[in-house]
Structure 1
Amino acid sequence: MEPLLFLVHRIPYPPNKGDKIRSYHLLEHLAQHYAIHLGTFIDDPEDWSYQDKVKALCASTCFLPLNPRQSRVSSLKGLWTGQALTLPYYYQAPLQQWVDAVMQREQIRHIVVFSSSMAQYVERYPQAYRLMDFVDLDSDKWTQYARARSWPMNQLYRREGRRLLDYERHIAATFDASLFVSAHEAGVFCERAPLCTPKVHWYNNGVDTRYFDPDLTHPNPYPPAQIALVFTGAMDYWPNAEAVEWFSQTIFPHLRGLHPNLHFYIVGSNPTDSVRQLADREGIQVTGRVPDVRPYLAHAHLVVAPLRIARGIQNKILEALAMEKPVLTSPQAMEGLETGALGVGCQTATQPEEWVMGVQPWLQGPPQRLASHRQWVTRHFDWATNLGTVDDLLSSARTRQVAS
């Protein structure tokens, strides 16, 4: 098979958080058509155990450790070079050396880059077809962080938003094509980089509906007589942590007063200290990493996603819908999802009173299943169908190369 260089900012396994779900399925799909040469970082010590899973899909690999604390120090170089801090955070000379060696040895003509931070390694190879999967508009995420933080961090985050947008524009202009996670996300980028519009595309994420299947039997993780609300997500990710802290402090006490048996489960790996402290509040459980999130979804009365900082597609919402659960979420978490046809089982709330009113109908009786949710996910979020966009772009590149 033809060789392809695939660069990812974080090992694409296990597929248990947003970016790794997308990068894993992209890798698995590409491996059906190309000999993959994968370069990536490992920033979670537990992820070293998954090297063999990833190697099985690749012709060659380069795994390098990324220590978040050391990388934060390295990122400060951007303050005097003028770069976005994200770029030195993810730059390591050994990866550049590996990329250069693979490009020469394998005569690589196709490159797929996942996350803008990894594009710096292949800027020197314009002769290859370079496809950039931005996923989300990361620059806007930093700008949202700035609005939520006080001085001096708000100034640093605002600067990062500006500098990273400059870099995103540069990559979109110089690479052959760029991808985003939704039509909405692609549209926002085109508004900010109109000259790049002809080269901007998108493909939806997918859901493994065979895995997230409500007809499978899952043990109930909740004690008898409990009414369970659940939030799922990586709990060392600041937007997730901020969301559950706000919900626990602002919304849940009102709900708990109305329903004494109501419990809020925060399910996800690596909870921050501030998230762990929420477990001191009556009715709130912080699970940490769990071997399987599906039992918590299957037996919950309602899934909540109160993110106030969000970009792109929230996989946690798609997985809940695939499990036929009712969902109450913030408008920010729903950007990019056309869910109007789902009706009352998938609603948004902004003000505290809207959250309280939106939760209540789902707390009476046993948990309900909404088959229309799964049907909608199956129709719109199939990985094989959606990744056809990537196939089309790479095929067009092969056609042009043969013609030339």
Structure 2
Amino acid sequence: MKKKLHEDSLHSSKTYKKLVVITSRFPFPLEKGDKLRAYHQIKELAKHFEVHLISTSEQKVEEKHIDELGPFCKAIHVFPINSLQKLIGVSTKLFSRKPIQVGYFHHYSIQQKVNKLLSEIQPDHIYCQLIRAAEYAKNYHDCPKTIDYMDALSKGLERRSLNAKWIKKYIFESEYKCLMNYENSIFEYFEHHTIISKQDKQYIFHKNRSTIEIIPNGVDDSFLKPNPSITKNVDLVFIGNMSYPPNVTAAQFIVNEILPLLSAEIKVKIAGSNPSREVTKLTSNQVEITGYVDNIQNAYRSAEIFVAPMFLGTGLQNKLLESMALGVPCITTSMANNALGATPNQEILIADSAEEFAAQIQRLNESPELKQEIIENGRSFIVKNYEWSKVTDKLVQLMK
């Protein structure tokens, strides 16, 4: 366990309520969607609460990463999850009705430490990100609690099961049913409930799901600053955690389905951390696989068009928020835009097949006027609807 205390530099003499935030992954670095959401929410919540962060972590958390959260937290507690714990946790859930991924992140030895911390802190509110963290707080009843479903995880796994084969198909189908039941049952242990989009809210099958508050993601202020002059050196770009199955599928779709319908001169960049073997195999004289990049904003800006053929997964795609904020015109699927809520043909372009993606790319390439209109309207849409301070305000009010 790591524990680091910080001076309360954000707060003056005023007394702030104690907020315990529990996450299944440490919220830095920001290479995954749940980490990004947790980091920016904590940053905003710290303006209103005394934040105590409790995180489990399957990876080593470096001191410099803890320091990134330090200015926003009164205390930080990190509990590593080792390989043996993961194996035992997953194995035990195979013979229970709880999802495997709950077992992956929840462990009795850590639960005992969390119980002790909660007894010492005596929080005024507890905020759990994702159902993976819910077990650690569900039986604590001395203060109100909020669960952030973030995505409808069961729906995402159901979609993945449709294209899976053999043993994977069986595991995915079994797990999504467990997840669906767990998302329903865990509802009862929390006073407040949040989720990332209206679309995801519809997939939480609880009789009181209408009370779930929609708290979308936002974009960092740095994405909204005037764009420096960056040379466009590729035609198309796709960005994300490139070991995440929906992103792997999207990358394969771009290269194997869309690219053959376009000119042989078209260049594609696929950027993001941890590219899987399936992704690295896509490299060619037309396709660059960068892996992790130091400046993700420049990766977006280096392309004429951002394409996101998202057919799997759930939630609001941060990649769409970021590319639109940076002034890169976006083409994505109806499913992805359902969560985003942008106006087709004004703020974003929609395509649901390889042929439609190719046609929309050609539209933008042949019409500078349309391209500029999509850029300007898309950026205005993000500024109006997706600044972190604005989208997190509802969460603050929920907890006060």
Q: Which amino acid aligns with 1:328?
A: I
Q: CA separation in 1, counterparts of 2:298 and 2:275?
A: 19
Q: CA separation in 1, counterparts of 2:382 and 2:110?
A: 38
Give 3-state SS (helix, strand or coil) of 1:301's partner. strand
Who is 1:2 aligned against?
A: 17
TM superposition shift of 1:365: 8.9
* Structure 2, gaps ≥5 residues long: 1-15
TM superposition shift of 1:118: 0.4
Give 3-state SS (helix, strand or coil) of 1:53's partner. helix
Q: For 1:264-294, what per-residue CA distance to the aligned partner results, in whole angstroms no more than 9, with x for missing partners?
A: 1000001001111111x33000000000111
| Inter-CA distance 273–308: structure 2 relative to 1 (3 Å threshold) | same
- The 8 Å contact of residues 232 and 268 in structure 1, kept in 2 or not, is answered as yes
Q: CA separation in 2, counterparts of 1:70 and 1:175?
A: 27
Instruction: Indicate whether 1:371 and 2:376 are aligned.
Output: yes
Who is 2:227 aligned against?
A: 216
- The 8 Å contact of residues 333 and 351 in structure 2, kept in 1 or not, is answered as yes
What is the percent sequence identity of the aligned residues?
A: 24
**Aligned partner (choices 337, 359, 362) of residue 360 of structure 1:** 362
1:4-403 aligned within 5 A: 4-45=19-60, 49-66=64-81, 71=86, 74-189=89-204, 192-193=205-206, 195-197=207-209, 199-208=211-220, 210-213=221-224, 215-217=226-228, 219-220=230-231, 222=233, 227-255=234-262, 258=263, 260-279=264-283, 281-340=284-343, 343=345, 346-364=348-366, 369=372, 370-395=375-400
- The 8 Å contact of residues 62 and 95 in structure 1, kept in 2 or not, is answered as no
Q: CA separation in 2, counterparts of 1:346 and 1:107?
A: 47
Taking structure 2 as the reference length, what is the TM-score of the superposition? 0.89
Q: Which moved more, 1:92-101 or 1:75-84?
A: 92-101
TM superposition shift of 1:82: 2.7
| Inter-CA distance 357–54: structure 2 relative to 1 (3 Å threshold) | same
TM superposition shift of 1:247: 1.8
| Inter-CA distance 351–365: structure 2 relative to 1 (3 Å threshold) | closer
Q: CA separation in 2, counterparts of 1:384 and 1:213?
A: 13
| Inter-CA distance 246–47: structure 2 relative to 1 (3 Å threshold) | farther
Who is 1:398 aligned against?
A: none
Q: CA separation in 2, counterparts of 1:51 and 1:324?
A: 32
Q: Which amino acid aligns with 1:273?
A: R
Who is 2:8 aligned against?
A: none
| Inter-CA distance 338–221: structure 2 relative to 1 (3 Å threshold) | closer
Who is 2:6 aligned against?
A: none
TM superposition shift of 1:216: 2.9
- The 8 Å contact of residues 324 and 372 in structure 1, kept in 2 or not, is answered as no
Q: CA separation in 1, counterparts of 2:62 and 2:231?
A: 28
| Inter-CA distance 331–310: structure 2 relative to 1 (3 Å threshold) | farther
Give 3-state SS (helix, strand or coil) of 2:352's partner. coil
- The 8 Å contact of residues 310 and 333 in structure 1, kept in 2 or not, is answered as no
Who is 1:401 aligned against?
A: none
TM superposition shift of 1:125: 0.8
Q: CA separation in 1, counterparts of 2:188 and 2:229?
A: 48
Q: CA separation in 2, counterparts of 1:46 and 1:4?
A: 22
Give 3-state SS (helix, strand or coil) of 1:125's partner. coil
Q: Which amino acid aligns with 1:384?
A: S
- The 8 Å contact of residues 332 and 351 in structure 2, kept in 1 or not, is answered as yes
Q: Which moved more, 1:54-63 or 1:159-168?
A: 54-63
| Inter-CA distance 220–68: structure 2 relative to 1 (3 Å threshold) | farther
- The 8 Å contact of residues 232 and 303 in structure 2, kept in 1 or not, is answered as no
Q: Which amino acid aligns with 1:275?
A: V
TM superposition shift of 1:32: 1.6
TM superposition shift of 1:385: 1.8
| Inter-CA distance 321–68: structure 2 relative to 1 (3 Å threshold) | farther
Q: For 1:132-181, what per-residue CA distance to the aligned partner results, in whole angstroms no more than 9, with x for missing partners?
A: 01110011111111112011111111111111111111121221011001
Q: CA separation in 2, counterparts of 1:249 and 1:68?
A: 36
| Inter-CA distance 67–99: structure 2 relative to 1 (3 Å threshold) | closer
Who is 1:402 aligned against?
A: none
Taking structure 1 as the reference length, what is the TM-score of the superposition? 0.88
| Inter-CA distance 184–320: structure 2 relative to 1 (3 Å threshold) | same
- The 8 Å contact of residues 242 and 276 in structure 2, kept in 1 or not, is answered as yes
Give 3-state SS (helix, strand or coil) of 2:146's partner. strand
| Inter-CA distance 382–344: structure 2 relative to 1 (3 Å threshold) | closer
TM superposition shift of 1:198: 5.1
* Moved segments of 4+, more than 6 Å: none
Give 3-state SS (helix, strand or coil) of 1:386's partner. helix
RMSD: 2.2
Q: Which amino acid aligns with 1:234?
A: N
Give 3-state SS (helix, strand or coil) of 2:227's partner. coil
- The 8 Å contact of residues 26 and 61 in structure 2, kept in 1 or not, is answered as no
Q: Which amino acid aligns with 1:212?
A: F
